[in-house]
Structure 1
Amino acid sequence: MQPWLIRFALPSETEYLTELALRSKAYWGYSEEFINACRQGFTVDLNYIEQNPTFVLENKELIIGFYSLEHLSENEVELGFLFIEPSEIGKGYGRKLIMHAKQQGQNLGYRRIIIQSDPNAEQFYLNVGGTRIGTKKYANIPNREFPLLQIDLHEIHL
């Protein structure tokens, strides 16, 4: 039996997931001021997980990471979150989550996953099948842009 599993997030885990997202973002060396500016957009609450499929990856009953999918259109879903505990980055858990997200996207009938990536994570998304399609400005952080990528689901074979 594998020591890890991916399951739906529980309502009791929302605060923990918010803090995990902020810890993971801070891993890249961003200032405390920048992380605080991100807080509103990184908040996971009950309403969010009820409206957007949100999955956690556990290893030995500890939450290692999570992701969510947000409906955009009939053909597109956005990767709302994908964050890993900083001590677990680089151990393959992000790849497990993105592969699960691809499968979920296909199962739900989507053709593409849209990803608003942190600049530091762009190479990861390129390595798992993403293609850069542009950039987008941060809504609440002036003078910053992030890579916009997509993964075509009709081209993958799971």
Structure 2
Amino acid sequence: MRIRPARPDEAALLSAIALRSKAYWGYDEAFMAACREELTLDPAAIERRRTAVAEAGGRVLGFVTLVGTPPQGELGMLFVEPDSIGRGVGRRLVDHVRERAGAIGFRRLTIDADPNAEPFYLAMGATRIGTTPSESIPGRELPLLALEIAAAAGA
């Protein structure tokens, strides 16, 4: 598996991965329809969000985005193809975003986590710092997490 920058022409593919990954948790059609806009990337967002993909055998297995301006940013999106969940793809993407964030001066990333993904982020070293309102579902609260980023060597 390798991690590489996403290409603008992969926006539709990454949006489809995000929707399949979200649906993995058993959400109904109405919930998924409400999330569709939030989970859709356009080509211009690929670079702006510092999007990286995990790829193996020419197949994109997942992606991650890094949003914001140092020193505080956001791990904006992290989605993995359902058949690759539990196979280390998410871990590799978090490791990548941590390294990249540290190299460009981020010291802390926040994560608006799906409740089902919170245990994964906690296992990756994030801590819960509160809740945040869902952008898609009125009245729904999401775990708000923080991931501290070590200073890059020589920084």
TM-score (structure 2 length as normaliser): 0.94
- Name the residue aligned to 1:146: 142
Equivalent residue runs for 1:20-35 within 5 Å: 20-35=17-32
Asked if residue 41 in structure 1 is aligned to residue 17 in structure 2, the reply is no
TM-score of the aligned structures, taking structure 1 as reference length:
0.92
SS at match of 2:117: helix
Report deviation, 1:97: 0.4
| Aligned counterpart for 2:78 among listed residues 53, 65, 82 | 82
Matched, 1:55 2:52: yes
Question: Is residue 99 from structure 1 mapped to residue 95 from structure 2 by the alignment?
Answer: yes
5+ residue gaps in structure 1? none
Relative contact order higher in (CA < 8 Å, ≥ 6 apart): 2
Identity of aligned residues (%): 46
2:102 and 2:151 in contact (8 A); partners too = no
**How big is the shift at 1:51?**
1.2
Residue from 57, 63, 68 that aligns with 2:65: 68
Cα shift at 1:155: 7.4
Alpha carbons 2:54, 2:63 under 8 Å: kept: yes
RMSD: 1.5
Is residue 13 from structure 1 mapped to residue 22 from structure 2 by the alignment? no
User: Number of matched residues?
Assistant: 153
Task: Give 1:137 deviation, angstroms.
Answer: 1.1
